[in-house]
A and B are shown apart, each in its own frame.
Chain A
């Protein structure tokens, strides 16, 4: 089965740019989706199909995908962006999640 690898944690200074990676074999050939999950809340889709933002998601969230790595970029990081972030692909008719990355805003 397909495996997605994320760093356990990423830290970013307030107002700076955070990058969260998601590694997978030839992931650039797949559509990657990203979710934000805050404590005690359900996940929220923040990026779909590599780089598209759903309605209501601010433009500080962006995504890219090439080769073996997809990246979620969070610009102008705020305290409210502290959360767990998960990447996901659809592979062989199953939904595959990465292990999640905890973003800390310092």
Chain B
């Protein structure tokens, strides 16, 4: 069965960076892209960016594009989301999801807390 397993919760200070991993299984890693979506406490879903796991091409939302780096390691079939210059409003659960036009399989989410 298809699963996406993400790394564990993180607590960071303002200005720091965070790197979250996402390891899919149950399908060939390079045949689908991966999107990253976040959800602030009590809020809705916000798409952050997408990576083509085959060739590494990326697309990011304007709101975070200057601070966001998405990578995919085909040797370990693992995708990474790095967000820099963290602010308190980056506190959220971050999800990876297998991406076609829809997001058909999701990771369990990674809580990132930004607090001084």
Contact = CB atoms under 8 A, between A and B. Distances in A.
Are A and B part of the same complex?
A: yes
A100 interface: yes
A95 B44 contact: no
Which of B62, B97, B101 is packed against the most chain A CB atoms within 10 Å? B101
A54 interface: yes
Interface stretch (B12-20, B24-32, B45-53, B66-74): B45-53
Nearest to B36: A95
A48 B108 contact: no
A94 B104 contact: no
Contacts, number: 59
Main secondary structure of the interface of A (DSSP, over half): strand
Interface of A: 1, 31, 33, 35, 37, 42-45, 48-49, 54, 84, 86, 88, 90, 93-100
A96 B44 CA distance: 11
Main secondary structure of the interface of B (DSSP, over half): strand
B95 A42 contact: yes
Contacts of B103: 33, 35, 43, 45, 88, 95
A97 B50 CA distance: 14
B106 A96 contact: no
Interface of B: 35, 37, 44-47, 50, 59, 61-62, 95, 97, 99, 101-104, 106-109
Contacts of A96: 47
Nearest to B98: A45
Contact of B104 (A37, A54, A97): A54
B67 to A, nearest CB: 17
Given A33-B102, A48-B104, A88-B102, A94 B59 contact: yes
28 contacts: A33-B101, A33-B102, A33-B103, A35-B45, A42-B95, A42-B108, A42-B109, A43-B37, A43-B45, A43-B95, A43-B103, A43-B106, A45-B102, A45-B104, A48-B102, A49-B102, A54-B104, A84-B44, A90-B101, A90-B102, A94-B47, A95-B47, A95-B50, A95-B99, A95-B103, A97-B45, A97-B46, A99-B44
